Structure 1
Amino acid sequence: MQALLDFARGPLFRLTFALMVLGLMRILILDIWGIIEAYRKAGDKEIPWKSAIIKTIGWLIPVKRVAKRQPFYSLFAILFHIGLILVPILLYAHVQLWKGSLGFGWITLPKSWADLLTLTTIVFGLAIFLGRLISRNTRFLSRAQDYFWPVILIIPFITGYVCVNMNISPLTYQIFMLVHIFSGELIFVLIPFTKIAHCILVPFSQLIIALAWKFPARVDDDICTTLNKKGAPV
């Protein structure tokens, strides 16, 4: 069992992390290339940078939208995402793991903060799952992976919290730790191939939308020719 844990913490962790990084880099490069191509073909080269930046900040920090529609659900989602980001990156044990793989570390959260964030992430993750399950409107828009992700994402939090804070036998600890590590590494592998990849695309989404509405040069002439309306009065 210990050999399996060492393998999961070492080579398998580095492999799955590398797959996630390379997959996200591929998505990022393809999207940047798409932006460049859209700009190159656009007849109107003017880009509304200010509007795109303001809208991007609004999506990253959706304070106004939280108060307007489904305030509780939106608030749960925001707090859930905060825990998802901060705990894996700033938990002391995780930083030591990153340090062993990458060769360097960074500041960590106090244990009390980490425990609180872990518990709130679990609670809000379950709330999001139940909200999608119970609400007819949300259920209508949800796909299978929309139910899958909140559950799979909180598994490392539940198992990690048990390992750190519960009085359990050595064998139980090893089993929970294996589930903790394997579920986290499964998330690494799935991220580039599922909707969670939006984490790398959000900063570019409004710029992509702004460019997508710019027609290529001379497209109006091509449309008029296709419709046999060339020279017709507007």
Structure 2
Amino acid sequence: MTTVAGHPFPEGLHYLVEHDVWAELADDGTARVGITAMGIALSGEVYMCRPKPVGLAIAQGRAIAVVELAKSIVSVKCPVGGTVVEVNEALADAPEWVHREPYGRGWIARLRLADWAADAPQLVHAHQAAGLALLLWACEPEAPQRLVTPFFHAAAAAAFDTPVEIYFAAASVRLLAPGVAAGLRADPGHPKTVLDALREAVGHGAVLYACTDALRAQRLDGSPLIPECTRRGGAVQFMARACDLRWRALVF
């Protein structure tokens, strides 16, 4: 299961992210819809939920229900377009299921899909990668403006609870020498150093690998590296990740 900011996003569902709603497709051409856990966290407890009636045609992004919150009444947008064929009758007496079990008993309605091919590009399909491998190849200290971006991406992926491995190759291994990354900034006016960005990625769980051949070529073999990097790994290890269909790979 994917998590974002501590909120679960189950695999197999399709999400209309801008409206914090989900759709679960069935083999019969229908889809069950509801509010995401993040949407519930942002809005608060639900005291009333009134879905649109059976038989009504709803366009993607239009209201599928109205919910009453502590201080407001808001509409719930529909992640897919279609005709309502069923509503969750239990919510009439127990609307709290919407915030207690947003992906279970708190589902709102079921629709017969109108045009899935047109709706699908607007949705995010949750499937968790086994991990993300980043190769730093053109990230030499002489181009500090390129050095922060890979660590920002690594930190973001690790924040999704995705395993992240960063492989330092070629001249990028020089960033691992004490004092180098600490003296570099992507922008002279920015308070954070490249080392700060690196540490943020490591703090979220990213693991650093230094290529032994690159260390030798840069005359760093046998020299101490920053404490954040304790592992060695080069082309074989990175390509093993890149060729694994369960992993994603990025090259910087």
TM-based fold match above 0.5: no
More helix by share: 1
Where is the strand percentage greater, Structure 1 or Structure 2? 2
Output the TM-score relative to the length of structure 2. Answer: 0.19
TM-score by length of 1: 0.20
